[in-house]
Chain A
Amino acid sequence: MKSKLILLEALRWVSASLAVLFILFLLGSTPDPEIPFETVEQAALARLDLSETQPGDATMLRRLYGLSASDFAGMTLYYPASNMGAKELLVLKLADESQADTVEAAIRARLQTQRDSFDGYGAEQFALLTDHAVVEIRGVYVLFAVCENEQAVRESFLNAL
């Protein structure tokens, strides 16, 4: 009886300590939410060729992604300037990280809609959307980019965090 209780108490302490260590590890690997949105936004924009795109506002964010700009702490959107364009950039700062799933699903839905639009119709755009799209969520910062050098944009975004 006594040894069983000692064993159970040990299990309680070990699991509680592991949970604390794990939370500390998670905190260590999460970006600082105090990094200004402008820093992250500029880092992503610096590597992007903005030709063939136009800046979007809250209405376009709602129309293209079904998201409300007022739900976020920061938003930058560049979307195709013509119907035959596929290049796109979205940088968001979430109000809190619980929004991450919703935002990711909205981005995936947007990407799928774009792919469906060009499937069997615009081979170049379809390839861009299939092979050169990147979605990155780190802490409260979100990047979605569709462009030829999407990895460079991603790296620049990550370096800013």
Chain B
Amino acid sequence: MAFGDLFFVFGFLPVCLLLYILTPGRFSNVLLLLCSLLFFAWGTPEYLVLMLCALAFNYAAGRELAALRDSGKKVLSGAVFATSVLADLALLGYWKYAGFVLETVNAVFGTSFAARELPLPVGLSFFTFSLISYLADIRRGRTDGSKDPLTFSLYVTFFPKLASGPIVPYPEMEAQFAHHPFSWRRFGAGARCFLIGLSKKILLANTLGTTFYALSALPPESLTAAFAWLCALSYALMLYFDFSGYSDMAVGLAGMFGFQLPKNFDYPYLSRSVSEFWRRWHITLGAWFREYVYIPLGGSRVHPFRIFLNLMAVWLLTGLWHGAGLTFLLWGIYHGLLVVLEKLVLKGVLETIPNAVRVVLTFLLVVIGWVFFFSATPAEAFTRLSRMFFLGGVADGAAAYYALGALRPLLLGAAAALPVGARLGRELARRGQPWTLLSIFYFAALLLLCVAGMMNDTYSSFLYAQF
């Protein structure tokens, strides 16, 4: 079940909301937990056993860590923390990396081990990171964790953030579990946010997806520069609207139930450097790596060579988190090197470049990175990159034909990636009633268009759900 399904929008969500409104406040967390477990188990009910084991394991580990920390038993606390994190990572590792590891072993040693793959549990990468941050925060004394197993379970499985984040540390949600009253004002704001996200997914990402999948089906060797760039640009915009659309929906859904989740995107394609891009794209994942990997490794307060190693470690892990494959590793290394270059080499130089030039350069560098991200193999990625840099000619008649077809979704996507629409909306809301009425019509029209889109489309899952 995905947020963009008709069943979710007109079945699961309204029933959950209705029950939530009717349920007395003291039982609302229990209801939300049941809804979340149902959401998790929808496609693969057998995984409920696995989730319950993970919850019991980490709840016990959290309570143990808090008790050992308070009694000053550092060695024992370290052992519990290390074994618990290893167990969580083993779960993630088995599902995401066993196939990749065996493939690599087979390629290196000429063996023929076969991985028996199981479907990926919903949100595995995301809830594993929530669990690790929960244990780390208890160990560091940022929180005592939850004494109530139901609250802890709701923190991990809360369905608006379960499948693809945002990844929220427990201390940021702790107070909300005790108090998240339903209010129509919050509900309205949440519904608006959800609808904006749904529109990004159905009207923009899926339309750009049609362009991207048509272009990416052409053999990479036959591409001219115009084709190769069109393909990469349509992917860049599709991925942005797909994931930022999902994140808006998650934030909106949480708002409808009285919770506040942090935003995950802040117009990343307007960034003036790659480092800034990563503070505006998938913000909560970047924050997680900074907080739980980069800073514990020493962060930026160490020798420049150690900074280089720390940054590369973070970016290798970021690449691997997105997928088990050489292309993701290369993508991680590419971004790591760019960030290192900005932090250690170009520090003073970047400020001298005009902002508009920096935005364009950053955007182009990010688009080049996405080529590794969407290519099936490193060889394909390098072929595509060579074509983008004119090794297959500049353009041909077919490219012009495709470009004309792709122009409308690309221009629409580019316009929607700017903050103009949101600013206009805020300005109109400030001006009062006639504009409020207009906005009601606007959102009603969006909903109708989305429903039409959902009915016409064959199923289209969220791209980040596979990471």
Contacts and interface: CB of A to CB of B under 8 A. Distances in A.
A101 B60 CA distance: 33
Contacts of A70: 217
Interface in B9-62: 43, 46, 49-50, 53-54, 56-57, 59-61
A69 to B, nearest CB: 10
A22 B53 contact: yes
A140 B46 contact: no
Interface string A1-35: 10011001101101110110011001100101110
Interface in A96-119: 96-98, 100-102, 105-106, 109-110
A55 B59 CA distance: 54
A6 B102 CA distance: 38
B61 A12 contact: yes
Contact of B60 (A8, A19, A105): A8
Interface residues of A, number: 37
A98 B64 contact: no
Given A9-B60, A98-B466, A33 B117 contact: yes
Interface in B212-241: 213, 217
A94 to B, nearest CB: 9
Contact of B461 (A18, A102, A110): A102
A160 to B, nearest CB: 17
Interface in B172-194: none
A16 B64 CA distance: 15
Contacts of A32: 114, 116
Given A11-B56, A15-B57, A26-B46, A140 B458 contact: no
A1 B117 contact: no
B138 to A, nearest CB: 13
Given A1-B67, A8-B63, A11-B56, A23 B50 contact: yes
Interface in B99-124: 99, 114-120
A101 B43 CA distance: 7
Nearest to B73: A5
Contacts of A122: none
Given A12-B60, A98-B119, 8 more contacts: A1-B71, A8-B61, A15-B53, A15-B54, A19-B53, A32-B116, A101-B43, A102-B461
16 contacts: A8-B63, A12-B64, A15-B57, A19-B50, A22-B50, A23-B94, A26-B118, A30-B117, A33-B115, A65-B458, A98-B120, A98-B466, A102-B459, A106-B459, A109-B459, A139-B116
Interface of A: 1, 4-5, 8-9, 11-12, 14-16, 18-19, 22-23, 26-27, 30, 32-34, 65-68, 70, 96-98, 100-102, 105-106, 109-110, 139-140
